[in-house]
Amino acid sequence: MKVTVARSLEEALADPEAIFLAGGTDLMVGVNFGRERPEHVVSIRGLSELGDTSVGERVRIGGGVDYTRVLDALGEHSPALVQAARTIGSPQIRNAGTIGGNLGTCSPAGDTLPVLAALDAEVILRSPAGERRVPFSEFMLGPRKSARRPGELVEAVEWLDAGPSQAFLKAGTRNAMVIAVANLALVVDRARKAVRVALGSVGPTIIRALEAEDLARGLFEESGWERPLRPSQAAAARFGELAAGAARPIDDQRGSAIYRRHVVAVMARRALARTGEVA
C-alpha cells in the first residue's frame, strides 16, 4: 500500500484511483474489518484548501474541517449543524472526523447529512477538470453511494444562511457515541418562507419529508413567518405522522422499523415545537 501525504490540491488529485484519508475515523474502521484494502492512500489532512470556513449570507465549511472546529466556527450560525456535530462520536472522534469524510462515506446514518439536506446545501466537488457543484438532494444516491466520482474531492459544502429556526435530533440506545437509530433535521428559513425536514437512518438515503414540509409551511403562513409558531396538538401530531410516513425504515441490529418510525414522529413534533419558538 502506497501512502502519499498531499501538500497541495494538485498532489491530492494526481491519482484518480487513490483513496483519500482525512480523519480516518471511517476509513480505518473499514481497514480494520478487512472491508477495505486501498492500494494508494492520499492523506488530505492539513490541506489548507479544505480547511476554510466562512459565515455570512452564504455559509461555507471546507471538506477538511473537523467537528470540533465546526462547533467553534459556526457558533450561532446553522444551529442544526452545530447540534449534529455535537452528537457525533466522542471528543476524540470530533477532533479527527470531518464533514468531507461524512460525505465521502455517505452512510444513511451520517449525522451531518440530514442537516445538509435540510439546509439545501451544495456539495462542492473538485477534480483536475475543475469544480462541480451538486445540490445535496442530488448528491446521495444510496447507502454509501453518492454522485462523487472517483478521485473527486469534497472541497466544501455551502448553503444560504437560513437563520436560527433549526433543530437536529438523534435517537440512539446510548447517551453518547452512538450511531443514529433515527435522526432528523428541521430547518425553517423564515426569511425565504421555506421549511425543510430531512430524515436519516430510516431509509437507503437521507429522506426529505415533503408532505410534512407542506403542512408546516401552511402553519407558518397562517401564524406569520416572523412570529413564533405554536401549533395545535392535532397539527403537531399530523406533522409527526407525515414525517414518520415518509420514513422507509428497516429492522436491523441497531433498531426496529416500528421504533424508527415512531421516534421520527416524536422527534418531528418536538423539532417543530422548538423551531416554532425561535423567530
Partner 1 sequence: MPELRTRGRVGESVPRPDAPAKVRGDFSFGSDLVAPGMLYAKTLRSPHAHALIRSLDVAQAISMPGVRAVLTAADLPGVRLFSLHDPPDQPVLVGVGEEVRYAGEPVAVVAADHPEQARRAAAAIEADYELLPALTDPVEAIRAGSVLRELLIRRGDPEARAEVVVDGYYELGQQDQAPLGPEAGLAVPAGDGSVDLHVATQALHVDLGQVEACLALRPGAVRLHLAGVGGAFGAREDLSIHIHACLLALRTGRPVKMWYGREESFVGHVHRHPAQMWYSTGADRSGALVFVRATIVLDGGAYASSSGAVTANAACFGAGPYRVPNALVWSGAARTNSVPNGAMRGFGAVQTCFAHESQMDALAARLGMDPVQLRLKNALRSGEQLITGQRVTGAAPLEELIRLCAELPEPARSGHRLSLPGGAGNVAEAANVVRATGFAVGFKNIAYSEGHDDYSTARVRLERGPDGRALASIKTAASEVGQGVVTITQQIARTELGVEEVVSLPADTTVGDAGSSSASRQTWMTGSAVQLASRRVAEEVLRRAGPPARSLDAGQVLDAEGMALAPIELFLEEPIEREFEYHHRPTSGLNPEGQGDAHVSFMFVAHRATVDVDPEAGLARVVEVATAQDVGKALNPLQVHGQIEGGIAQGVGMATMEEIKQREGKILNASFTDYIIPTALDMPAVSSILVEEPEPDAPYGAKGVGEPPLISSPAAIAAALRAATGRRLGRLPVSPDELAGLAECEPDWEVTPGVSPSDGRRRQR
Ligand X SMILES: Cc1cc2nc3c(=O)[nH]c(=O)nc-3n(C[C@H](O)[C@H](O)[C@H](O)COP(=O)(O)OP(=O)(O)OC[C@H]3O[C@@H](n4cnc5c(N)ncnc54)[C@H](O)[C@@H]3O)c2cc1C
Residue 274: how many other CB atoms lie within 10 Å: 15
- 242 touches ligand X (CB under 6 A): no
- 174 touches partner 1 (CB under 8 A): yes
Q: Which of residues 65-104 bind partner 1 (CB under 8 A)?
A: 83, 86-87, 90
Q: Which of residues 87-146 bind ligand X (CB under 6 A)?
A: 87-89, 93, 96-98, 100-102, 104-105, 110-111
Residue 108's closest CA among 214, 240, 250, 269? 250
Stretch that binds partner 1, among 10-18, 116-124, 148-156, 173-181 (CB under 8 A): 173-181
- 63 touches ligand X (CB under 6 A): yes
CA atoms within 13 A on the CB side of 65: 24
- 176 touches ligand X (CB under 6 A): no
- Minimum CB distance to partner 1 smaller for 147 or for 257: 257
Please report, in angstroms and rounded to a whole number, the separation of the first and last CA atoms in the chain.
53
- Minimum CB distance to partner 1 smaller for 11 or for 259: 259
- Distance of alpha carbon 85 from alpha carbon 216, whole angstroms: 25
Contacts of 116 (CB under 8 A, 6+ apart): 81, 103, 123, 136, 157, 159
**Shortest Å distance, C-beta 236 to partner 1:** 12
Binding test (CB under 8 A) with partner 1, winner from 171, 186, 187, 215: 171
- Minimum CB distance to ligand X smaller for 110 or for 163: 110
- Burial label, 207 (beta-carbon count in 10 A; 0-12, 13-18, 19+): buried
Stretch that binds partner 1, among 96-104, 118-126, 219-227, 249-257 (CB under 8 A): 249-257
Check: CB of residue 210 under 8 Å from CB of residue 261. no
- Distance of alpha carbon 78 from alpha carbon 80, whole angstroms: 6
- Distance of alpha carbon 201 from alpha carbon 226, whole angstroms: 32
- 169 touches partner 1 (CB under 8 A): yes
Q: Which of residues 34-53 bind partner 1 (CB under 8 A)?
A: 34
**Shortest Å distance, C-beta 276 to ligand X:** 27
Binding test (CB under 8 A) with partner 1, winner from 40, 142, 173, 214: 173
Q: Which three cell numbers stand for residue 257?
A: 422499523
Chain residues binding ligand X by CB under 6 A are: 19-27, 29, 44, 50, 63-64, 87-89, 93, 96-98, 100-102, 104-105, 110-111, 153-154, 177
